[in-house]
Structure 1
Amino acid sequence: MLKDNEKTLKNQHHLLCIAPMMDWTDRHCRVLHRTLSSRALLYTEMLTTGAVLHGDRARLLAFSLQEHPVALQLGGSDPSDLAEAARIGEAEGYDEINLNVGCPSDRVQSGRFGACLMREPELVAECMAAMGAAVKVPVTVKCRIGVDDQDPEESLFRLVELCSQAGVKLFVVHARKALLKGLSPKENRDVPPLNYPLVWRLKRERPDLTIVINGGVGSLDEAEEHLQHVDGVMLGRAAYHTPAILADVDARIFGEGAPVDPYAAVEAYKDYVAAELAKGAHLAGMTRHMLGLFHGRPGARTWRRILTVEGVKPGAGLEVIDEALAVVSGLEAQRLARGLEAGEAA
């Protein structure tokens, strides 16, 4: 059992979360997202217990203070290993430790963690109890509604019931089954049908728990609709491919401040980029997360081209971002001027 069943993240950060996404939500990506929202809860890519316990912790677990609040997502199924990995994550300063019970990849299945653990809810509960006893920060679960031929009404509710008995208070539910045979991880993000009403029902029947919904949410309009039924929404690919969606999060979802100007976000991110370049980081590793920032705006294609082509060149620095930003801002100014001229002519 958790030592304190009232442990929870402060200030409702779970209202809007950015999903853990392998190869995408690295520390550079998370800093970019933080420049767009000061309130959204960020998640690391999934790290296996083996990597945390035996790998290069300085590299794997490093994050910037500005990322807070940020959660560490773990993959594993051995309670003692997960407990020790949770302790390490807490010591590194993470605000939450999350267990992955949703990833459907073959590699994850062979390691007996991820979505296949939906078939072993008792083991998941044992893991969560061990993690909760090991740390003071909240321990949470990210799961599917079921796998393969499971009945979601049984598999989801059984997992939540056992884990809640072990002290877990917050569940992130990807509202799809995972089909572990016959579908790739990418297909498992799109092919199995979404069942949002089941997750809404989970919240109705377990009002004592914090339920965050995930899967297929593509806009803040959709997020606000879900918030009529559940406690929080987790955005995934929409936040990554069109990060400007996050510019309105603080104002619309949290009721704080004004929308963030993407240009201001770029300037803020440049400070981080400069510091990382000085440490030897490569520009392309940071700018790749910015490619969709001006999606749908004049110059978006040129923005992507400059960052992609120039950013990979040896010695590339902030001048690449400045060049790309100048193109976008110049085209925006031209469009505004044309609009003013048209208004005057009318």
Structure 2
Amino acid sequence: MPATPTLDAASKANGPSRRFSVAPMMDWTTPHFRYLARLLSRRTLLYTEMVTTGALIHGDTERFLRHDPSEYPLALQLGGSDPAELAHCARLAEQFGFDEVNLNVGCPSDRVQNNMIGACLMGHPEKVAEGVAAMIAATDLPVTVKHRIGIDGRESWEELCEFIEKVSAAGCKTFIVHARIAILEGLSPKENRDIPPLKYDWVYRLKQEFPHLEIIINGGIKTFDECHEHLRHTDGVMLGREAYHNPWLLAGVDTEFFGEPAPIASRQEALRAMFPFIQSELDRGVYLTHISRHLMGLFHGMPGGRQFRRHISENAHKPGSGLEVIEAALAKVREPEPATMAEV
């Protein structure tokens, strides 16, 4: 794969650029998707899925934190609220080579609420501040927080500012703001990604009210034009579902937002560059379908893209399936000319 520049000591201390990042998404931002994303963009900041502190402390730590060095810059997202546990996991993040450790204060699912994880912590800013302070004391990595603009019953502008004030006083300098409230009673996690209205103006106001903080905007962003508009008001943009379902978008990031050449010229080149990695995963005993499911959007909108997806869907799950399935799927798509920019 293309060589990925390593961060020097000064860059490590200040943290990676957050001008453009891909959101942490459960079951989606796995090492397999992140490897593809890094082939498409050297500069995009990538995030792991949320990993709970309990899973890291009491589970298979190596498995949860496993990643390829080519994925850097890479941030670890934690779910938890106990300061001692968060501090321990922040040390693990540094030990395993991550570039940032992020605290999830946005996930609305019932399961995490019951463990005082995610969006419910918006109602407990002091607890978030304690956790952040413990993490900062435990590591030299940047400690960031990803959160909503509120939760049901605590959704005023004043309460959002109170949250920012208390957590920033604990030492957090970077806030990644999903511009929706989370409805903890009555909406599913999926509905919480669409139904509460987006309030981008609130995120803009946060940057005005707290100019010394780094404010990154997230939620419903799909195009580079939208990104540029948000960057007029905030320090960075974070894309989620659009980057996953249409990953070729990432191939334009380095040029569009960093003024650097695109690292790869075509979708086919990107996928073929993954072959050695895919084979190494197959050799480890990983089923092809666990890898191929993250490739389905690569030929989004391209002639033959539907046939590409169908062939993989019908064959990747079969016993013994390997690279020949990907090769056969690739034969069904046409890429008229090399692209150096993402179609957005």
Larger radius of gyration: 1
Alignment partner, residue 4 of structure 2: none
1:132 to partner: Cα distance:
0.4
Higher helix share: 1
1:258 to partner: Cα distance:
3.0
Name which of 222, 227, 236 aligns with 1:232. Answer: 236
Q: 1:325-344, aligned counterparts within 5 Å?
A: 325-329=330-334, 332=335
Residue type matched to 1:247 in 2? Answer: A
1:278 is aligned to 2:274: no
DSSP 3-state at the match of 1:295:
coil
Hey, what's the Cα distance between the residues in 2 that align with 1:161 and 1:269? 44
DSSP 3-state at the match of 1:207:
coil
1:219 is aligned to 2:223: yes
1:123 is aligned to 2:127: yes
1:152 to partner: Cα distance:
3.5
1:118 to partner: Cα distance:
0.3
Hey, what's the Cα distance between the residues in 1 that align with 2:159 and 2:86? 22
Residue type matched to 2:64 in 1? Answer: L
Hey, what's the Cα distance between the residues in 2 that align with 1:204 and 1:270? 46
1:203 is aligned to 2:207: yes
Q: Which moved more, 1:214-223 or 1:101-110?
A: 214-223
1:252 is aligned to 2:259: no
Alignment partner, residue 267 of structure 1: 272
1:259 to partner: Cα distance:
6.8
Alignment partner, residue 14 of structure 2: 8
1:92 is aligned to 2:96: yes
1:146 is aligned to 2:150: yes
DSSP 3-state at the match of 2:237:
strand
**Retained in 1: the 8 A contact 2:305–2:333?**
yes
1:294 to partner: Cα distance:
0.8
DSSP 3-state at the match of 1:149:
coil
Q: 1:63-102, aligned counterparts within 5 Å?
A: 63-102=67-106
Alignment partner, residue 133 of structure 1: 137
Name which of 173, 193, 198 aligns with 1:194. Answer: 198
1:307 is aligned to 2:312: yes
DSSP 3-state at the match of 1:320:
helix
Residue type matched to 1:230 in 2? Answer: T
Alignment partner, residue 328 of structure 2: 323
1:241 is aligned to 2:245: yes
Hey, what's the Cα distance between the residues in 1 that align with 2:13 and 2:193? 31
| CA-based RMSD | 1.4
CA-to-aligned-CA distance 1:15-49 (integer Å, 9 cap, x gap): 11111111111111111111111111111111111
1:166 is aligned to 2:155: no
Residue type matched to 1:42 in 2? Answer: L
Residue type matched to 1:285 in 2? Answer: H
**Retained in 2: the 8 A contact 1:251–1:259?**
no
1:7 to partner: Cα distance:
4.8
**Retained in 2: the 8 A contact 1:152–1:177?**
no
1:222 to partner: Cα distance:
1.1
Hey, what's the Cα distance between the residues in 2 that align with 1:113 and 1:87? 19
Residue type matched to 1:8 in 2? Answer: N
DSSP 3-state at the match of 1:125:
helix
Residue type matched to 1:58 in 2? Answer: E
Residue type matched to 2:166 in 1? Answer: L
**Retained in 2: the 8 A contact 1:217–1:238?**
yes
- Structure 2 residue ranges without an equivalent (≥5): 1-11, 338-344
Residue type matched to 2:14 in 1? Answer: T
1:156 is aligned to 2:168: no
1:60 is aligned to 2:59: no
1:247 to partner: Cα distance:
1.0
Residue type matched to 1:131 in 2? Answer: M
Hey, what's the Cα distance between the residues in 1 that align with 2:299 and 2:117? 37
1:76 to partner: Cα distance:
0.6
Hey, what's the Cα distance between the residues in 1 that align with 2:128 and 2:145? 9
Q: Which TM-score applies when normalising by structure 1?
A: 0.91
CA-to-aligned-CA distance 1:77-111 (integer Å, 9 cap, x gap): 10011000111121111111000000000001100
1:151 to partner: Cα distance:
3.2
1:8 to partner: Cα distance:
2.7
- Structure 1 residue ranges without an equivalent (≥5): 1-5, 337-346
DSSP 3-state at the match of 1:218:
coil
1:291 is aligned to 2:296: yes
Residue type matched to 2:62 in 1? Answer: A
1:183 is aligned to 2:187: yes
Hey, what's the Cα distance between the residues in 2 that align with 1:275 and 1:155? 49
Q: Which TM-score applies when normalising by structure 2?
A: 0.92
Alignment partner, residue 8 of structure 2: none
1:66 to partner: Cα distance:
0.4
Alignment partner, residue 5 of structure 2: none
